[in-house]
Amino acid sequence: MRTPARFMIALLLTGGFAEGAIKTPENAPIEITSTGETRYENGIATAHDNVEIHVGDSDIYADHARYNSATHEVTANGHVRIYRDISVYLADEAVYNTDTKEIRATHVKTATDPYFLSGENVTEITENGYRIENGTFTTHDAPNPNFHLRAHTIRIYEKDRVVFQNVVLYIGNVPVLWWPYLYQSLNDAFSFTVSPAFLSSWGPSLLTAVTFPINDHIKARVRLDYRGRRGLAIGFEPDMTYGKDDSSWAKLKTYYLQDQNPLINQTNEVRKDVPTGRYRVSLQDKTQFREDIEGFANLTKLSDPFVMEDFYQSEFRVDPVPDNVVALVKSDPFYTLTGIARFQANEFFDQTERLPEVVLDVKRHALFGGPIFYEGETGFAELRRQFPNDSPFESYSSERFDTFHQFTYPNTYFGWLSVVPRVGFRGTYYGETRDLGKTIFPADSNPFIDPEFLIPDPTPANPIVFAGDTFRAVFNAGVEASFKISRTWEEVQSRSLGLDGLLHVIQPFTNFSYVKESGSDPAAILQFDRFQPSTELRTIDFPQFTSIDSIDNWTVWRVGVRNRLETRRDDDTITWFGLDTYLDVNFTNPYDRTPYSNLFNNIWFAPLPWAKFTIESQIPAFDKGFTEVNTGVVVQPLSNLEISLAHRHLNDNPFFVNSSLFVVGGYYRLNDNWGLGLQEIYEEATGVLEEQRYSLYRDLTNWVASFGAVIRDNSGVKEYGVIFTVTLKAFPKFGFDLNFDPGSTGGQ
C-alpha cells in the first residue's frame, strides 16, 4: 500500500518558486493531500486518489486534481465536491480559481439550504453569481424530489435571488405549468397552490395560485381558476414596497371572469341585471412622502354588488360594502392635519361622500405648561348622502363647517383620587337643513329612542324640503373620577388553578356628561355622520363621540367598578380573573329613553395557560330593556387538542332580531403529519344549522394537503362545497390557516 502523501504549496517555498509567488486570498497556503501519487513540476501540482485541497474557506475533494500556480486554478475530476463557506457543489468535473473563487463545472449539483440545484454546466457571471444551463431547482431534499423546476438557464446569486428562463414546474415527473421567465428571491416565499373544489353555486372547480417575487420590491400572486357553472377566471395580485427604506407599500388585487351564470343565488335576495363580465379591482396604498406626511388609499371598484359575496366570501362577511377613500395626513407632536376624499365608486352601494373633507386635530396638551389641558378639532366638509342608482331614496347634500374645543383639568387628590373635569364648546355650520314644518315624522312606536333619529330617508313621494343654512352651538361639560384599592395575598398558591400569589385591585369609576344644544332643532339637521343602532353603550365624551350630526341634549351619569385578580405566571403578571360592572343613569338621553340603561357585566377568567373563559352580558336590571349574553370558552386540555365554544343570546332588542347562536369549533393534531378541524354554527331561534365546516390536513414534507367540506344554510337555501388543496410550502417555511373556507380560496 502506498502511504498518504502531503504536499504543501505556500509562500514559504524557496528558490525560483518563491519568485512566482502564489497570490492566494490573504496569502493563505494551499494544502494538497492524497492517498496516491502527488508531484510538483513546472509550477503545476498534480494529485491522484482521494484528493483533498484546502485553501482559505474552501475545501475541494475529487478523484484527481491539478493546481496551476500561474493561473491559480484547480482542475478537479471525478466525484468533485467543492465546499465554500456554507455552500456545497457536486460535479463530474470542475475548475476552481483560488483567487476569484470562480467555479466552472459540468453536470453540477449544489445544495444551499433551503434549495437544491443541478445542471449541465455552471459558470460564474459575477462575484457569488452563477449561470447554470439545463438546470433544475427544488427545495425537496430527496434523490427523487416530489417537485422541481426545470429551466433552460438558471442564474443564481447566492443569498439573494434566482432567475429562471424558459421554466417548467414538474410535480413528480409530470409537467404542470410553464413560464417564460421567473424570478425567485431567496429571502421571500414562493408557493404554489392547486385546489380542486366543488361548491353548489360554482360546480366542479379547479383553483390555482402561484406566489412569487418579481424583483426585490414586488411580489405577486397569479390566480387561474375554473368553475364548472361559472367559467374561467384570472387574477393578478402584486404587493409592492417602494420609497426610502421601503417605508411605502401598495397592494393591488384584480380578478376577472366571464360568468356563464351570474344570476345563481344561494340566498333569498332577488338578483337582476348582473353582468356576465364580472370583476374586482382593489388598491390599498400607504405612501410615505416625508417623515411627517403620509398618503393613504383604500379603493375598490366592482362590476356588480354580488362579486364579493360570490367569490370573496371571507372578506364579504367582514366588509360587505368596500369603502373608497383617499387621505393625506400631516403629523406633528402638537397636531394632525388630514385631507380626505371619499366617493361612491360603486353606484349600487349607499355612500356618504366627502369631496373633500379637511380636519385639523389639535392633540391634548398642557396650556403654557400649566395644569389645564386643551384639545380641539376643526374641519370643513362637502358632504353628500349618495344612495344607489336604483334606490327608491333621494340623495341629499350640504356643506358643513365644524369646530370643537375642550379644556380639562386632570388632578389627583389625597394621593389616591383621580378627578378630570372638562368643559367644551362646539359650533357647526350647515349649508342646508330640513324644513320641519313639511316633514312627516314616524309614529312614536319605539320606546327606547327619540323618533327624531328615525326620520325615514327621503323618497320622490316624500322628498326633503330644504330650509336653508343654519348654525348650531353645543355646550358640553362633565367630570370623570376613579380610584384604586388593592390587597395582596402571597399565601395563595395553587398549581391546579395557576395561582402564585394573588393581588386584588378594585377600581370604582364614574363619568358624568352634560350636553346642551342650541340653535337649530336637531331633527332639522341633515344626517351624514349619523346615529347607528348598536347593542353597546355609546361614548358620552367628545371628541370620541363621532356622530356629530345626531348630537342632541343629554345628561347621562355612567357609574361602575372594575375588579382584577392578578397573579404571577411565567415570570410575568397576568390577570387571572376580571370583572367590569357598569350602567348609565339617564336623566336625559335621546338614544335611550329609559331612566336606566341595562346593567353590564363583562367577565374574563384565565385559570390556566390552556384555558380561557369570557362572558359579556347586559340585562334590564332596573328598567325595561333587552338582554344580551355572549359567552366564549377556549381550552386546550391536551397538547394536540384545542376546543372552542361560543354562544350569543340576544332578546327584545328594538333594532336586531332575537338570536341564540351556538358556535362549536376545534382542532386535533393526530401526529406530526395529520390534523383535523371542525366548526359548526347553530341558530336556536330559527332551528337552523347555519354552517358546518370540516377539514383534514396532511403534511407531505414539501407540500401541505388539506381536504374540507362545508354546508351552509342561507334562510332555507342550502349550499354545499368540498375542496382539496395542495400547497407548495413557503420558502423556506410554511404556515397554513386552520380556518378552512372554500369560498375564499379562489378569491384571497
Distance CA 212, CA 204 (A): 27
Range of the domain at 122: 5-185
Contact 725, 696 (CB under 8 A): no
Q: What angle do CA 684, 686, 689 make, to 5 degrees?
A: 65
Average pLDDT (714-735) is: 65
Structural domain contains residue 15: yes
Q: What is the pLDDT of residue 58?
A: 84
Q: What is the band of 701 on the pLDDT scale with cuts at 50, 70, 90?
A: low
Burial of 515 (0-12, 13-18, 19+ CB in 10 A): buried
Q: What is the pLDDT of residue 377?
A: 97
d(CA 255, CA 237): 8
**Phi, psi angle pair for 367, to nearest 5°:** -70, 120
Q: What is the pLDDT of residue 731?
A: 45
Evaluate if pTM is beyond 0.75: no
Task: Give pLDDT, residue 68.
Answer: 87
Nearest to 293 by CA among 335, 330, 247: 330
Q: Of 151-155, 269-273, 469-473, 674-678, which gets the smallest average pLDDT?
A: 269-273
Q: How many domains does the chain have?
A: 1
Length of the chain measured in residues? 748
Q: Are 32 and 52 in contact (CB under 8 A)?
A: yes
Q: Is pLDDT of 569 > 90? A: no
Dihedral (Cα; 696, 699, 705, 708), 10-degree rounding: 10
> For residue 44, what is the domain's CATH number?
2.60.450.10
pLDDT: which is higher, 348 or 272 = 348
Q: How confident is the model at residue 735 (pLDDT cuts 50, 70, 90)?
A: very low
In a domain, 572, yes or no: no
Q: Determine, yes or no, domain membership for 251.
A: no
DSSP for residue 314: H
pLDDT digits over 523-532, tens only?
889 999 988 8
pLDDT over threshold 50, residue 688: yes
- The answer to whether 153 and 147 are in contact (CB under 8 A) is no
One-letter-per-residue 3-state SS of 532-575: CCCCCCCCCCCCCCCCHHHCCCEEEEEEEEEEEEEEEECCEEEE
What is the rounded average pLDDT of the residues 496-522?
91
Strands 499-518 and 73-84: unpaired
3-state secondary structure 426-492: EEEEECCCECHHHCCCCCCCCCCCCHHHHCCCCCCCCCCCECCCEEEEEEEEEEEEECCEEEEEEEE
pLDDT-based confidence at residue 16 (cuts at 50, 70, 90): very low
User: What does the pLDDT read at residue 704?
Assistant: 74
In the structure, what pLDDT confidence band is assigned to residue 95 with cuts at 50, 70 and 90?
confident
Q: Is residue 119 part of a domain?
A: yes
Per-residue CA distances from 712 to 201, 218, 666, 680 (Å): 11, 38, 18, 10
Is residue 220 within 8 Å of 212, Cβ to Cβ?
A: yes
Q: Does residue 9 register a pLDDT over 70?
A: no
Per DSSP, the residues of 587-624 read EE-TT--SSB-PEEEEEEEEEETTEEEEEEEEE-SSSS
Res 499 pLDDT > 70: yes
pLDDT > 70? residue 50: yes
CA distances from 213 to 160, 222, 228, 259 (A): 12, 11, 31, 30
Residue 83, C-alpha cell as written in the block: 465546499
Q: Mind listing the pLDDT tens digit for each residue in 382-422?
A: 999 999 988 888 999 999 999 999 999 999 999 999 999 99
52 part of a folded domain? yes
Cα separation, 382 vs 741, whole angstroms: 41
Q: Rounded CA gap, 470 and 466, in Å?
A: 11
pLDDT confidence of residue 435: 86
In a domain, 107, yes or no: yes
Q: Let me know: does 239 contact 248? Beta carbons within 8 Å.
A: no
What is the distance between the alpha carbons of residues 313 and 266, in angstroms, rounded to a whole number?
12
**For residues 356, 280, 220 and 700, what is the CA-based torsion angle, rounded to 10 degrees?**
130
Cβ count within 10 A of residue 445: 8
Count other Cβ atoms within 10 Å, centred on residue 747: 23
Q: Which residues pair with 66 in a beta bridge?
A: 46, 75
What is the C-alpha to C-alpha distance for residues 376 and 491, in angstroms, rounded to an integer?
A: 50
In the numeric block, the cell 339617564 is attached to 586
DSSP summary character for residue 2: P
Which of 307-316, 580-589, 731-740 has the lowest average pLDDT? Answer: 731-740
pLDDT of residue 329: 97
161-213 tens-digit pLDDT: 778 888 888 877 888 778 787 766 665 556 667 778 888 889 998 888 888 77
% of the chain surpassing 90 pLDDT? 45
User: Does a structural domain hold residue 67?
Assistant: yes
- Average of pLDDT values for 688-692? 89
Tens-digit pLDDT profile for residues 59-87: 899 999 988 888 888 999 888 888 876 56
Contact 299, 282 (CB under 8 A): yes
In a domain, 9, yes or no: yes
52 vs 24 pLDDT, higher one: 52
